[in-house]
Amino acid sequence: MDNKTFLSDLTATFNTFYASEALVDHLTQSIQYSLNSGGKRIRPLFLLETLQGFEITITTAHFKVAAAVELIHTSSLIHDDLPAMDDDDFRRGQATNHKVYGEAQAILAGDALLLDPYLLLAESGLPAQDIVALVAELAYASGSHGMVAGQVLDMDGEQHSLTFEALKQIHALKTGRMLTFPFVAAGIIAHQSADVLVLLRALGEKVGQAFQIRDDILDVTATFDQLGKTPGKDITADKSTYVKLLGLSGAKAALAENLADATQLLTEISDQTQMTSDTILRQIERLRID
Q: Which residues bind ligand GRG (CB under 6 A)?
A: 39-40, 42, 72, 75-77, 79-80, 85, 92, 110, 114, 142, 147-148, 151, 174-175, 211-212, 215
Residue among 173 and 196 whose Cβ is closer to ligand GRG? 173
Task: Give residues with Cβ within 8 angstroms of 273, minimum separation 6.
Answer: 54, 192, 196
Q: In the bound complex, what is the minimum distance in angstroms from residue 74's beta carbon to ligand GRG?
A: 7
Residue among 117 and 197 whose Cβ is closer to ligand GRG? 117
CA 238, 74, 221: angle at the middle one, nearest 5?
A: 40
User: What does the alpha-carbon distance between residue 97 and residue 81 come to, in Å, rounded to a whole number?
Assistant: 8
Q: In the bound complex, what is the minimum distance in angstroms from residue 153's beta carbon to ligand GRG?
A: 11
Residue among 154 and 192 whose Cβ is closer to ligand GRG? 154
Residue among 192 and 209 whose Cβ is closer to ligand GRG? 209
Task: Give residues with Cβ within 8 angstroms of 167, minimum separation 6.
Answer: 157, 240, 241, 242, 245
Residue nearest to ligand GRG (CB): 39
Q: In the bound complex, what is the minimum distance in angstroms from residue 82's beta carbon to ligand GRG?
A: 8
Q: Which of 99, 97, 12 is nearest to 63 (CA)?
A: 12
Residue among 97 and 273 whose Cβ is closer to ligand GRG? 97
User: What does the alpha-carbon distance between residue 233 and residue 237 come to, in Å, rounded to a whole number?
Assistant: 6
Q: In the bound complex, what is the minimum distance in angstroms from residue 251's beta carbon to ligand GRG?
A: 14
Q: In the bound complex, what is the minimum distance in angstroms from residue 92's beta carbon to ligand GRG?
A: 5
